[in-house]
Chain A
Amino acid sequence: MKKNAFAVLGITAAVALLAGCNSAVPAGGSGSGSGSGTEIEILSNFTSDVTRGKVLDELIKQFNSEHKGDYTVVSKAQPDWPTLQQQIRSSISAGSAPDVFLYNYNPTDLSREKSGALMDWSSALEDDADWKARFKQDNLDALTIDGQLIGIPGDQAPTLFYYNKDLFKKAGIDAFPATWDEYLADAQKLKDSGVGAISLMTADDSWHTMNAFSYLATAEGGADVYAPGSDLDNPAIVKAADYTKRLLALSTPDAVGGNYAASSSNFLNGQSASIIDGPWLISSIQSTVKDACSIGVAAAPTFDNGEIDPGYTVTDSLNVWGAAKQTDKKKEAAVVAWMKFFTSNDSAVKMAVEGEYPMAVQTELSDADKEKASCQMAEVLDISNAAPAAIVQMARGITTDAQAQLPSLLESLALGQTTPEQFATKLQAANAQ
């Protein structure tokens, strides 16, 4: 009996080892082509489960076909964004940065950019003026660290109000409100009609709540109200906290403690009437909401106090395509060739129209493209193009200490354990650490 037990242990160890050795051979992900020419890997969160991932796979297939024998691009997707970022950091620390990877640029943490492991794109852009002209100079300036352009702007998603026109109508609201006070009055009507007025959440990075908070703060205090180095213990932040508290009370019952998935599902399933989110929500709207065009898109209200022009947008942080510094010139050429293809107008239009993913490059949609675009994407592009200002969401620019404390601070605010004044003081203290 005991001998048998040891035999079983030995056999299972051998099986496990064989299984492990078998799997140690890297296999091609989506888009792996013939394996000919120079191969590069792209690490992103564009899984084939989301439309942008499907479009990326199609673009890779097209690129591989056009460059057969020269280059092969392979996509490796990590579904979870924080895990992807950790994977990239670990890879860079271990001296084996991925060939091409998507990461979130944070001006308060330049550890990746200053690691010396990233490719400098300056000469590639300088050699091709047309390609360089496709990017906003502001973005290129932000990504130029110590004279080196350390990445190619990927996306800077505008967060906008998505609202359920049917639920608004049912509550007796004819048009999306222009001021926050009107919005609160309408929110009460929505709540009285039996739905949450707005989808909010406090878990993780409190994304939806911080979008609302950022809009409220900038509406009251202007574009620089929480710029790096600002004192966050100011009247605009206090007012934003006060209105956020009211919004949380008019949200769904699971807002306090809820996460992104719960909050967005509440909106998609008609349990809340509005949400402030990025354009990635559009693919879920298209696949989940029966009458997808009943979801409208609107710029956020203001306080009508002249601090900021109506129609401005709060955006997610700039996501950047970085690349490993290459010693192999062929590989470097492959990386540049892929990125030129990926950021071309044709690719950007395909990504916007079919992938619901507006890229941070000039994207010119033809009339036919506009016809093909979803009702929400056309509105998103119109609002973004017309926006007088684009301000990065507050949580993306504060320190990691302050980011970590946001969920508990917001929960205390919602539960009445912290006043708006105390919220501002504590947030400033966390941000100053």
Chain B
Amino acid sequence: MSIIGKSFRWVVLGVFTLITLLPLLWLVASSFKTQADIFANPFGLPSEWRFDNYAAALDAHPLYLYLRNSIGAAVLATVVIVLASLMASYALLHRFRLSRATFGFLLFGILLPVNALMTPIFFLVNMMGLYNSVLGLGLVYAGLFFPLGFLIVKTYMDTTPAEIFEAARIDGAGFNSVFVRIAAPLASPGAITAAIFLMITAFNELLFAAILTKDTEAQTIQVGVRYFLTTYSANYPLAFAATVIGMAPTVVIYIILSDRIVAAMTAGSLK
């Protein structure tokens, strides 16, 4: 590659890195500023580093509890969706009456505007006694985000050569055994990709988390951050500190699993 080509590559990478990192760095820097400093000096480093913003945010609201709730709801939803998606995708590997219609039905939810589902979902959750609980929220997420997970897992499982299943059957494996021993393990990269997307989506969800909960014991970190940005006042330094605390788990997970995540996202792209 010529010097010009190499330089161009580094410029593109540098610009992309800046675009990606600058908002994050801005957020972190702002979380150490005073309210006045944020507006007077929006893009500079803090004129006075206020580390106590983090302590104040943690004192003001139980952010760790909100984090636990967010993780609980996101993990529950992710596990339910991934398991259901694996089973549905495996079933749809087989042709049966209305199999195409079933596929369309399972994906139909992706087209629905979620706001339109607000009242029916509230009604159902309330009727089941799950209003104001992480369990209820997690199950709602499982329903809402199922089409996304199903689409990823199904697309991946479809890439598994049919000969592998046939060989397993010839060796005496039954329908369920093929799923447990062959189909699900081979689709695990797709399932991991789906799990990552689902965890992030559920972790960041705000609308249903706000509507379906009313206690700190059930509210999520996204709702918790809103306490610093109320209708009547906005405490940006504390809100940013709370946001950084709220982002920490996903950033740490990404740093630890970055190789795995990239591998999972590209797995199945080549046969």
The stretch that binds B, out of A5-13, A181-189, A367-375, is A5-13
* Complex Cα gap A271–B233 (Å): 17
User: Are B126 and A16 in contact (CB-based, < 8 A)?
Assistant: no
Contact with B217, one of A27, A78, A265 (Cβ below 8 angstroms)? A27
User: Are A24 and B233 in contact (CB-based, < 8 A)?
Assistant: no
Contact with A261, one of B126, B137, B217, B229 (Cβ below 8 angstroms)? B229
Q: How many Cβ-Cβ contacts under 8 Å join chain A to chain B?
A: 154
Contacts of A268 in B (CB 8 A): 35
Cβ-based interface call for A50 (8 A): yes
Which secondary structure dominates where chain B touches chain A?
helix
Contacts of A49 in B (CB 8 A): 60, 227-228, 230, 233, 235
Q: Which of B198-253 contact A (CB under 8 A)?
A: 207, 210-211, 214-218, 223, 226-236
Q: A16-B75, A16-B138, A26-B215 are in contact. Are A80 and B122 (CB under 8 A)?
A: no
B interface residues, how many (CB within 8 angstroms): 55
Cβ-based interface call for A91 (8 A): yes
Contacts of A52 in B (CB 8 A): 232
Digitize B46-89: 1 where CB-to-A-CB distance is under 8 Å, 0 elsewhere: 00000000000000100000001101110110011011000000
User: Are B210 and A9 in contact (CB-based, < 8 A)?
Assistant: no
User: Are B234 and A261 in contact (CB-based, < 8 A)?
Assistant: yes
User: Are B132 and A26 in contact (CB-based, < 8 A)?
Assistant: yes
User: Are B210 and A83 in contact (CB-based, < 8 A)?
Assistant: yes
Cβ-based interface call for A43 (8 A): yes
User: Are B235 and A86 in contact (CB-based, < 8 A)?
Assistant: no
Contacts of B226 in A (CB 8 A): 79-80, 83
Cβ-based interface call for A156 (8 A): no
Q: A13-B75, A23-B217 are in contact. Are A288 and B35 (CB under 8 A)?
A: yes
Beyond A27-B216, A79-B229, 15 additional contacts (C-beta under 8 Å) are: A9-B83, A13-B79, A20-B135, A20-B136, A22-B134, A24-B129, A29-B215, A49-B235, A78-B210, A83-B210, A87-B210, A90-B119, A90-B123, A93-B123, A269-B40
The 8 closest A-B pairs by CB, nearest first: A20-B135, A24-B133, A16-B76, A19-B72, A90-B122, A13-B79, A20-B134, A261-B234
Contacts from A to B (Cβ < 8 Å) = 2, 5-6, 9, 12-13, 15-17, 19-27, 29, 43, 45, 47, 49-50, 52, 76, 78-81, 83, 86-87, 89-91, 93-96, 260-261, 264-266, 268-269, 271, 280-281, 283-284, 287-288
